[in-house]
Amino acid sequence: MIRMPWTSASCPHFVLEINQKCNISCKGCYKKMGGSTKTLDQILGELDIAMSKRRIQTVSVAGGEPTLHPRLCEIVSNIHGRSLKVVLATNGLLLNVGLLEDLKKAGLDMVMLHIDEGQNRPDLPPDPTLEQINSLRSALAEKVAAGDIDAGLSVTVYHKYFDRLPQIVDFILNSRHINFLFATNYVDTANLLKSVHFMQQNQDRFPDGSDSSSSQSSRTTNQQVYEILKDSFAIEPSAYLPPARATAGAEGHMAWMTYFMPVIHLESKTERFSIRSNIINLFLRSFSKLTTGRFTFYSGNKPFTTAVMVLCSTLTSRRPIEGLKFLAKLRHSGAHLKSKYLIFENGPMVTENGDISCCVLCPNATVSGNQLVPVCLADYPDFNSMDGLSSG
């Protein structure tokens, strides 16, 4: 497993928050929804700030709920016009054929559908089963793919539903339309920051007498994700980012984990191949930087590139027969080679000294004032400058 080879200036991703209003409620939401909508000039100004600080390759357009913005297609077109990849993070409620056609024309590359157990939304019943949730995910992803746009899935990993994680990953690996998963481990951000405030005042309890560390008890961590995916699928991350500061306990050792798995969709089943991280993996990740001056965050599915990565991995990990047998399945009629990317983010954590620690060189940074800050802390100005984004 390798550390992502980014620096503060070359981290390739940025989150552009265009409004503060939403049409559903989410248990894991860290935004302070005020109902405001930024003007196009404000949005492009924030994009200029981000591009002056990073060699961005991909911009994720988020909110709030970005499909509520009246000038969404213009925003996407302006980002695309700067030779950047554009991802839309949405709950999908307002997606229809007409909007998807307009977004495709504007230059949208991928839709990240945020659908999980912690949402109160009109297209799911209260306390939905995983089958009901996956059915909605599949239907919306198929609608997105029909518009010739890549489909991804964004979820919050809740403690209550943690045992569902292997089924979610299995769903992604078998999906014909969803090839990208971004999962954030649940944390009660407001209570966590409240506990930090009291810890810094050398108090271990809130005024109501509750333990100031209780905000950590309901969260999930990448350490737990790492263990369950290793047990369930015998896979390990291909790359990671550490926390900006050492966090309390072993759970903070990987603040950001990326899994990469090629699959071949056959008529009746899906074949999988486990990539083993090595120096070739680091070289392939750095190749874009060498040729274009920017690291790649998102590039879509490219079967030839995926086949090359399989061959490189098998040769350098001494598994040539295994790799050739996997690729030989492409001879079957209707076989399709896909890349599946799974990214897991810890979210903010607390150090033993009572400081906030997020992912070092946080890829999910947004603009607050004239600075890049972690998107999960952007609405909390007393804490959002503490991450150490400029380190590395």
Residues 6+ apart with CB under 8 A from 10: 54, 55, 289, 294, 295
Digit-coded pLDDT (tens) for 331-376: 999 999 999 999 999 888 777 777 777 777 889 999 988 889 888 8
pLDDT of residue 116: 95
- How many whole angstroms separate alpha carbon 257 and alpha carbon 226? 9
365 touches 203 (CB < 8 A): no
351 touches 248 (CB < 8 A): yes
Confidence class of residue 90 from pLDDT cuts 50, 70 and 90? very high
Q: Which CATH superfamily is domain 2-186+220-377 in?
A: pyruvate-formate lyase- activating enzyme (3.80.30.10)
What mean pLDDT is predicted for residues 27-49? 90
Residue 391: strand, helix, or coil? coil
Confidence class of residue 217 from pLDDT cuts 50, 70 and 90? low
What mean pLDDT is predicted for residues 264-287? 80
CA distance between the termini of the chain:
18
- How many whole angstroms separate alpha carbon 253 and alpha carbon 241? 9
Amino acid at 60: S
pLDDT of residue 389: 38
Confidence class of residue 275 from pLDDT cuts 50, 70 and 90? confident
pLDDT of residue 383: 65
Digit-coded pLDDT (tens) for 108-124: 999 999 999 999 999 99
What mean pLDDT is predicted for residues 88-104? 97
pLDDT of residue 98: 97
- How many whole angstroms separate alpha carbon 252 and alpha carbon 350? 9
Q: Where are the domains of the chain?
A: 2-186+220-377
39 touches 27 (CB < 8 A): no
pTM of the model: 0.91
Confidence class of residue 199 from pLDDT cuts 50, 70 and 90? low
pLDDT > 50? residue 392: no
What mean pLDDT is predicted for residues 225-237? 93
pLDDT of residue 200: 64
- Stated length of the chain: 392
Strand partners, 19: 37
Among the listed ranges 157-161, 212-216, 244-248, which one has the minimum average pLDDT value?
A: 212-216
What mean pLDDT is predicted for residues 130-155? 97
pLDDT > 50? residue 188: yes
pLDDT of residue 184: 94
pLDDT > 50? residue 387: no
98 cis-preceded (ω within 30 degrees of 0): no
